Structures are given as C-alpha cells and as structure tokens.
Amino acid sequence: MPSRSELAARSLLNAMTEQSPTPSRRELANAIRALSMDAVQRAESGHPGAPMGMADFGAVLWNDFLRHNPADPKWINRDRLILSNGHGSMLQYSLLHLSGYDLSIEDLRSFRQLGSRTPGHPEYGRTPGVETTTGPLGQGLANGVGMALAERALATRFNRPGFPIIDHYTYVIAGDGCLMEGVSYEACSLAGAWGLGKLICLYDSNGISIDGPVKGWFSDDVARRFESCGWHVIPDVDGHDAEAIHQAIAQARAFTDRPTLIVCKTVIAWGSPGKGGSEKSHGAPLGADEVAATRENIDWRHEPFVIPPEIYQAFDARAKGADWEGEWNQMFARYRAEYPGPAAELDRRLACGFPDDWEDLAWNFIHATQDKHEDLATRVASQRALQAYGPHFPSLVGGSADLTESTGIPWSGCRPVDFEHPDGNLIYYGAREFAMNTIMNGLALHGGYIPFGGTFLMFADYGRSAIRMAALMKLRCMFVLTHDSIGVGGDGPTHQPIEHVASLRLIPDLSVWRTCDTAETAVAWKAALERVDGPTALIFTRQKLPHQERTPDQVRAIARGGYVLLDCGADPEAILIATGSEVQLAIEAARQLNGQGRRVRVVSMPSVNVFDAQDAAYRESVLPAQVTRRVVVEAGVTAPWYKYAGSQGAVIGIDRFGECGSPEIIFQHFGFTTERVVAAVTALFTSGANF
C-alpha cells in the first residue's frame, strides 16, 4: 500500500497535471532532445545528433501507432521497434522512460556507465523494451526482416477467422550508415520477395555521417533502390513535421502486400544552433555552452533530467498498454477454447518447449545411429539427424545461403518459404550469408521459431558479425557449417578453411561442435536443440568419415564434449587428442603404437567449450595431468591447441593456406598421415616428456 507521502505526491502530481496545458507535438519531441543531449553531456561521450534529429518521428510513432505494454515488454503481440542505428540509443531510452517502462531517470543519468541499464548501444536483455542489440549498422534492419517474417508466418499458421492472435507491426528506424552496409540490401531484397507488408522502415535521411556529408560516398537513389527490391516507398517526408510523419506512417500501415520505406528528411541535432546539420554533433557531446544555447533555441526551460508532469502524462502508455494486452488475453482465452490444439502448440513454441518423450526419442536415435555402423560424411549424418528430430519440432525453420543441398539442410516434410507460403520451414536465402544469419537472429528474437542456417565453413566469415551478435544476445540459433577443412580438395585454398574453427571457438557463449562420425553428429544436434540460452555452430565434413566403435557409456559421454574413444587398458603413457576427420588418424596411430607395446589413449573432443565446462574430476579422468606426452591432431591452425598439448606436447595442424588437389593428396601433402602421428608420439618418448 502506498505511504501517505506517496499518496500526497500523487495528488499533487494529478493536480498539477489537471492544471497544465496539453503539450504540443514539438514539446514532446523536445523532451526527447533534452534528455538525449543531457545524458550524452553528462556521460561526456555518445551521439546526441541522431536522437535529436529523430525525436519528432520517434514521438509520433510511439504515441500515435506503437501497440505495446510497458508492464510486459515480452507480450507476444506487441509491435516491435528496432533502432538499427544503435548509436542513437538515447532516443530509445528516452521513449522507454517517458512511456512508463522500468527505466528510471537515474538510469538515464547513468548513460554509458559501467553496469548501467543504458549502455552506449542498446543491448537485448539488459534494458526492458529493447528488442535487439544494435550498434553494428544494418543488422538491426535485417533483424527486423526476421521479426516481420516470423509475424507473417505465425499469423498464417495460427490465426483463424475472428482470431487475429498474431497481428503486429515491425518498425525499424535506420540511418544513412545502415543503408550503406551491404547486409541491409541483402535483407531488404528478401523482405520484398517475401512481401512482408507489416515491416515499416523509417529512414533517418540526414545526409551526415561521422566523416561528414555523405554525398561524396553515398549517392544512391535510395527510393529507387528499395522500389527495385519490391518495397513501397514514401519519399521526402519532412522529418520535423509531426503531421507529415503521422500521415506517412498511416499510409505505410495501409499497404499490406509489401514492406514500406518512409524517407524522412531530417537535420542531425535539430535545435542545436551551432552544431545542427553538422558531423560535429554525430559522435561527441554538444558541450555545455551549446547545450545551453540549444535549450534557449528550442524553448526548453527545465533543468537537466527534469521532465514536466504533463509531458510524462502525454507519453504514459501503461494504461492503454494494459488494455491492449488485456483485450488480447481475452481473445486468446476464447481462441484456446475453440482451437485447443493450435493454442497448445503456440504455447509450447513460445515456451521453448520440447516433446514429452524427447530424451527417450533422442537417445534411441543416437544409439540406433551408433548401431548402424555407417560410414558417412558428417554433413549427411547431420541431415539424418534432422530427419529424426525435425518432425518433433514444429518451430524448427532451416535455410541455406544458396547451398541448400550441399549443406544437407532439407529434411523430410520441409516446405519452402515464399510469398504465397510464409509459414514454410525451409528458407532459400540466396547467396546472402550475412542476411541469413541476421534474419535468423530476428526469427529467434521474435519467438516461436528455432532457426538454423547452412553454408560452407569458409563463408562463415561473411556472416561472422551476426554469429557474434547471436552469442552476445544468447539466442537459440544454429549455424550449420560444412566443407570444414582441406578435405574440400579441388576447390583450393579459397574454399579451404584453416583458421575458421579456431576463430569460432574464440567467440564467447558460442557452442562449437566438430564431429567425427554419425553418432557424434546426432549428439551434437541434440545438444544444439536443447541449448536455449545461446547459439551453436555445427561443423561438418564434405568427405565420408568412418564409423567409430563405442560402448553405450562412450556414446553417452559424447555429450560431455570430450571423452575417451580408445583406451589402452592401463594408465596411458601418451594421449592423442583429435576432432572431426582427424579422429580416425589418431585411432590408426594409437592402434599401431599400442601394438608396439605402448599405452596410448585417444580422446575425441568434438566440442572444446562443452568439455571445458565439465567438472574438474571428469576432465582429469579424460586428460590426466600427469600424462604430458600429448599430441593434438586437427586440420586447422595449431596455436589454440597448445592449451591441451602443453609445453612438452605437439600439435599437428596447418598454419598456412591450403592447396588445390584431391582430398587424399592434400591430406598427405600437409602431413595428415598415420606415419606422422606415430612419429610425433614416438618423439615424445625420447624428448623427456613425463607420464
């Protein structure tokens, strides 16, 4: 219950509000400008120009159109708002604060500070109401394409006459820099092809970047470019005329067959008399004198971080947000009664649920896979796993960047996504690796889908930034990366990944699996599907790999990331560690050495990060510390593996680019032979290494 002092304060506020005139649209926008320039000035760093320039259409969108509930930022049918030019974060923070989200004025005063809920660029999961982490330009817009696709697909799947259960818009605010980045073009081309009519992009066309006026390096006819991609375009909207902005958004919402780009002509740092329209306002505080001059210029008579009650009241979305969600809840209750099956499926999707018999189903498949003793390329084994698991996950949606068959993405029962069938579960992205990964992130962020996408490992570089963003946001995405080594052969060094597996393992919170056969692949897919708090990279071969013999306990141990695949019957004198296609080399070498009277253990380590997360006792049981004779074998860069090989061990890898030739010849050329592995272990017995 509120205290007497709190009740008194509320009464005073209500009285003041009743006596205050209704603020104008310009005053609402100026509140955003003031908060933005004050926060940047207090932080002594940041970007005041963008939020000051975007304030007018931010205020119109937020107050006139956006359906959301500040008390429940995760309400499934809320409109999504993405600030793709994330350096303008104070625009979003100001709007979240003013409209009633759990973001206080003290949070705004702590802008850009350690531990703050208002970091320099918006971060998903840190600030309530932030839909995605933005900063790397263009990716927010591409995320929006994924969210809009999810909305259209879920609506097609679940809506029924009289029950628009999934029915919301995705709004994106983007700047010149976003549209310069290639990923925006990749993603927007797909948005047009898919006819995402509830995707609306407000383009902050101020013609200024950090380096100055963009006309010298960005002369695109943006309107015609988007029209060519199948978008509606509303050109030359005055970005500082609230009524013009309102009319443009209303017009965009009336288009339902295609996405819409609204070109808003704005002045960066509008209101600043000395730095408005200049790159000087882009990436640095205005300065105390210019802040004071701006206050005078826009007639803002309040102290820093002080907002009049009438402004708060005008922005406050808590009551209408509660009404919107309440009405939706009532509709969904009626929907659940009339359509219990679809309602239950939607519930399970949104809760990241699993089939009731998932553990039994998955392990039965894994053990059956082990028992088949099949020699397969792991990309084919991956497809087999999808065949087994996919039908039990209606939310699973896969795709590929123009390498669908080569990467083993299609599975039985999959249906292509296209303009007429947005609710399919197979996406043809075309040769657009970056867009694929960012759209996958958008699908995951929206909810209701578990996305995965395939390309060659070599081309992971094209979409690496989006993989990193998935890890930063802890999204449930799976990146299927095939053709994983010099085994690509005749395609030559341009297609032979050398450093890629190691570099992916360096990304925090990304789980990486490189499997050696069908059973490890089946376990890897199980682990990826179960990982709801982060992405997974699944790395597979083009070439056929031999089946490895295992006991049931060894099959179960695969899930621990590293395990003893071949033991020597006694305390080992030496240990061979390998992944993927090189595991068989280690097996052959160990058998030869053990036949000579040595005691050599083979450890398969399909997932380094999963193994590292095991308890110390388990890791010691696999890699006893006293055994320092260790050789690691992997067809990639060597440096990261000395963590396991130690100073007295050896690593057999590749620290140069590949060559063109048949896979068999290439592996021999680079020394991936049984003889070399045997020689490396033998050398340790004469070098003084201990056991």
pLDDT at 569: 82
pLDDT at 2: 41
Q: What is the mean pLDDT of residues 32-36?
A: 98
Q: What is the pLDDT of residues 446-479, one digit of tens each?
A: 999 999 999 999 999 999 999 999 999 999 999 9
- End-to-end CA distance of the chain, in Å? 69
Q: How far is CA 667 from CA 458, 635, 677, in A?
A: 18, 9, 13
Does the pLDDT value for residue 480 go beyond 60?
A: yes
Strands 544-545 and 376-377: antiparallel
Does the pLDDT value for residue 563 go beyond 70?
A: yes
108 band by pLDDT with thresholds 50, 70 and 90:
very high
20 band by pLDDT with thresholds 50, 70 and 90:
low
Q: What is the pLDDT of residues 149-206, one digit of tens each?
A: 999 999 999 999 999 999 999 999 999 999 999 999 999 999 999 999 999 999 999 9
Q: Pick the closest to residue 314 from 30, 75, 12 (CA basis).
A: 30
* Count of CB atoms situated within 10 Å of the CB of 402: 15
What is the DSSP secondary structure assignment for residue 65, as one 8-state letter? I
690 band by pLDDT with thresholds 50, 70 and 90:
low
Q: Cα separation of 487 and 551, whole Å?
A: 29
Does the pLDDT value for residue 503 go beyond 60?
A: yes
pLDDT at 192: 97
Helices (H) and strands (E) in the chain, counts: 27, 20
Q: Pick the closest to residue 327 from 316, 338, 335, 339 (CA basis).
A: 335
pLDDT at 7: 43
Residues 6+ apart with CB under 8 A from 24: none
Is the Cβ–Cβ distance between 157 and 165 less than 8 Å? no
Q: What is the pLDDT of residues 429-446, one digit of tens each?
A: 999 999 999 999 999 999
Q: Which long-range contacts (CB under 8 A, 24 or more apart) does 78-81 make?
A: 78/168, 79/168, 79/169, 79/170, 79/171, 80/131, 80/144, 80/147, 80/168, 80/169, 80/170, 80/171, 80/446, 81/131, 81/171, 81/172, 81/173
Name the 3-class secondary structure at 163. Answer: strand
Does the pLDDT value for residue 320 go beyond 80?
A: yes
Q: What is the pLDDT of residues 405-415, one digit of tens each?
A: 999 999 887 89
Q: What is the mean pLDDT of residues 377-389?
A: 97
pLDDT at 687: 74
Does the pLDDT value for residue 611 go beyond 50?
A: yes
Question: Percent of the chain, pLDDT > 90?
Answer: 93
Q: What is the pLDDT of residues 332-355, one digit of tens each?
A: 999 999 999 999 999 999 998 899
Q: Pick the closest to residue 82 from 72, 68, 71 (CA basis).
A: 68
Residues 6+ apart with CB under 8 A from 636: 485, 497, 498, 499, 500, 501, 502, 653, 654
Q: Cα separation of 275 and 285, whole Å?
A: 10
pTM for this entry: 0.95
Question: Percent of the chain, pLDDT > 70?
Answer: 97
pLDDT at 475: 98
- CA of residue 672 relative to chain centroid, distance: 36
pLDDT at 21: 82
Side-chain-side CA neighbours of residue 255 (13 Å): 23
Q: What is the mean pLDDT of residues 508-534?
A: 98
433 among known catalytic residues:
yes
Q: Cα separation of 146 and 417, whole Å?
A: 12
- Looking up tokens 């200049």 gives 278
pLDDT at 18: 52
10 band by pLDDT with thresholds 50, 70 and 90:
very low
279, 325, 433, 634: the active-site residue: 433
Q: What is the pLDDT of residues 286-307, one digit of tens each?
A: 999 999 999 999 999 999 999 9
Say which range, 94-98, 188-192, 395-399, 410-414, has the weakest mean pLDDT.
410-414
Is the Cβ–Cβ distance between 407 and 482 less than 8 Å? yes
Q: What is the mean pLDDT of residues 8-24?
A: 60
Does the pLDDT value for residue 6 go beyond 80?
A: no
